Structure 1
């Protein structure tokens, strides 16, 4: 589980949180709250934000502003170095360095954080490896650096690394290697592709024999830098429900951390009607096909905390032979090449009883604008600014509203959950029966019963200023942005405490919320071809300017501006 204070010396895990909040009547809050329609939440045209977060002030630049120009370079990393000469502290964990991409030397500032596919590292840990081990090295890895040319130097502000970001696959499971946490995926030649979960063993998380185990499998990793997110279910069903590879062959011994009872046999598949759920706009779940062994669409019963022989939503669900999965990972060469997967999504619709906890979410594609308010860039060129957000999340609860939060950091390193999905942002629940306005209920009103979707191409001015490194989504059956002054002022202390103190389920996950890093910041663009390239306004990202508080990454040095 991710702690509040996170040193960049360690793997900074992304997090999924939950809380066992009070149960809400079957059908969930969304049925009463939703006033919008269709499959996309969006701001009402011309609406004014209920509050305004000021944009960070333009800083003093290290060179004349005319010498600032943005870059966004992707290529194969070469000659990565770690160097602390420019660091304001002597801690080697904070060191920056240099790297060459496509022949261009990029300066890596001290305190820069590297975003891996499902993991987050300091620059030093990326180069040297966590615990001093980096079996795949750094040369030849795909690295994307976003920053500015500052005078004659290319200085990065953001960095994203993978072996190959487009390395994905899809196929049907034809066999499972339980001891090694691997799925055998059918290929077109009558054989199989091995997809092994990159799921390091976790000290203190024990299997039925008392040995340390992984979050989603028996636990194994050829290179920890490319692991799954062990605090978020990056191994999940199409609804975000966490999935697992049993640690033992279930025909011999059931795995209590990945129980077979969570994959009920067809035709006994509990659909919305059987669960007493008013059908969402997408309609009833599909019945299993003739001859189908396991249910592929079903609703988990509400969690009671009592022993049960039936499905238990507080535990993960096992992959089965015949499931179709999408996977993404790192190609490992050896006697037999295989994919070391950080992300696997099964084509399964596993839902939870609406309005109850635990429920589960996963964030898909999303991006946020940097909200630069100026039509003229710092270097004098005309620019088109981006004050927008798009986000898609998967949820197992088809009725309860989903909210979005920026994770602001206080000086002591603690998190302030800044609510950014009121009615003015989503166009939903403008006159609530109780509680706050807004939230997203497109999983109830749209074409897909798991999809909570927001498209804010023109967000209310001042609502999205100062975007953070991470975004949180959470369901209102878990934590509620409770109004204390009509609808515009919320009980911030109660909200933060709710997320912080959420209970643990499903082998150490905290359901009901999901935190993910921002992979796509939408920076200003030139208006006129031929003008000087406008800079990336990295100085409007508070975590780069001010750092992230005690125990976390400090401000970048040198700054990329």
Structure 2
């Protein structure tokens, strides 16, 4: 009986708590959770606002608000929707999508100020590159398949999901030391990629690609590694990556927007 009384009191307390209004208006409202619904006021208006619902709370997305994807900023809210106004997130709603936001409770409603949108907490993983398909611009990490970019800065262009690409201005595909790396657009054994040349992964005495070296100071001699160009990823490299699972025909693929290769690539002292 005492247990029932306690539970009854708890239920009454919850009911009373739910009935209490927010004591301060305006007041801050930070929130993180699964996206269960989203709307856009006018899909043909690039700066249109709308609503987003997370954790059962509907939040107003004001006009002109630019949201953040994992590697890109300044994405218009309307860009996340199809022309008919339905949400256009890869594999939605089969795959969970989440949002983190900073909003305010004002005038009896929640209004967003900053929104971050991502899929399943970033899909972070790590492993060795076990194979590379240069024709498709894809690679496998311990059996899982992915591509390095969707806009062509770090490899071949994969243009179906440009909002979930790598950061092309501040490289998010890089070595542990921050030097940008890439996936060659052609098989180096057949044709060298001038923007991702094989000379930027010199071989050791056993014919294996070096995982660490320092570039020569300028001027760069013919045939020597060039710090002005990216260094190619190769089979056997260990990487940490994050990406978005997107459709790929009848299958899915991870579109990697962040890759950190376990490589120690350094520019010469006194250079950048």
Name the TM tier (shorter chain).
Answer: 0.7 to 0.9
Cα contact 1:135–1:222 (8 A) shared by 2? no
Of 260, 265, 271, which aligns to 1:345? 260
TM alignment of 1:333-412, pairs within 5 A: 333-334=247-248, 335-356=250-271, 359=272
**Cα pair distance change 1:295/1:158, threshold 3 Å:** same
State the alpha-carbon separation in 2 of the partners of residues 257 and 292 from structure 1. Answer: 22
1:399-454 deviation per Cα after TM superposition (whole angstroms, max 9, x unaligned)? xxxxxxxxxxxxxxxxxxxxxxxxxxxxxxxxxxxxxxxxxxxxxxxxxxxxxxxx
1:179 aligns with 2:135: yes
Q: Does structure 1 residue 328 correspond to structure 2 residue 242?
A: yes
> Are 1:298 and 2:251 an aligned pair?
no
Q: How many residues align?
A: 244
Instruction: Report whether the alignment pairs 1:73 with 2:31.
Output: yes
Deviations 1:296-336 (A, max 9, x none): 111111232x6621100111000111110001001235544
Q: Give unmatched runs, 5+ long, in structure 2.
A: 1-21
Q: Distance in 2 between matches of 1:260 and 1:104?
A: 52
Distance (whole Å) between structure 1 residues aligned to residue 141 and residue 207 of structure 2: 19
Please point out which of 78, 85, 96 is paired with 2:49: 96
Task: Answer yes or no: is 1:198 the counterpart of 2:149.
Answer: yes
Matches within 5 A, 1:121-520: 121-128=75-82, 134=88, 136=90, 140-186=96-142, 192-200=143-151, 214-267=152-205, 293-304=208-219, 308-334=222-248, 335-356=250-271, 359=272
SS of 2:244's equivalent? strand
Once residues 325 and 231 of structure 1 are traced to their aligned partners in structure 2, the CA distance between those partners, rounded to angstroms, is 21
Counterparts of 1:93 and 1:217, CA distance in 2: 29
* Partners of 1:138 and 1:98 in 2: CA distance: 17
Q: Distance in 1 between matches of 2:218 and 2:166?
A: 26
Q: Distance in 2 between matches of 1:135 and 1:145?
A: 18
Task: Report what 2:9 is aligned to.
Answer: none
2:80 alignment partner, SS class? helix
- Compute the displacement of 1:233 (Å): 1.2
Q: Following the alignment from structure 2 to structure 1, what is the Cα–Cα distance between the partners of residues 221 and 115?
A: 46
Work out whether residues 80 and 127 of structure 1, in 8 Å CA contact, stay in contact via their aligned partners in 2. no
Equivalent-residue separation in structure 2 for 1:81 and 1:66 (angstroms): 27
Question: How far is the alpha carbon of 1:176 from its aligned partner?
Answer: 0.6
| Aligned match of 1:430 | none
Distance 1:216 1:166, change over 3 A: closer
- How far apart in 1 are the matches of 2:107 and 2:240? 44
> Which TM-score applies when normalising by structure 1?
0.41
Residues 254, 133 of structure 1: CA spacing in aligned structure 2 closer, same or farther, 3 A cutoff? Answer: farther
Measured after TM superposition, the shift of residue 135 of structure 1 is 6.0
- Secondary structure of the residue aligned to 1:255 is coil
Superposition RMSD in Å: 2.5
For CA contacts below 8 A with separation 6 or more, give which structure has more relative contact order.
1
Q: 1:126 to 1:105 in 2, by over 3 A?
A: same
Contact conserved, 1:180 with 1:219, CA < 8 A, in 2?
Answer: no
Number of the residue aligned with 2:72: 119
TM-score, scaled relative to structure 2:
0.82
Change (3 A) 1:133 1:98: closer
Question: Does the C-alpha gap of structure 1 residues 176 and 133 become closer, same or farther in structure 2, counting only changes over 3 Å?
Answer: farther
Partners of 2:70 and 2:165 lie apart in 1 by 8
Q: Please state if 1:107 is matched with 2:38.
A: no
> Partner of 1:327: helix, strand, or coil?
strand
Indicate the SS of the match to 2:120: coil
Q: Secondary structure of 1:125's partner?
A: helix
Listed one character per residue, the Cα deviations across residues 346-375 of structure 1 (whole Å, up to 9, x for unaligned) are 00010001222xx3xxxxxxxxxxxxxxxx
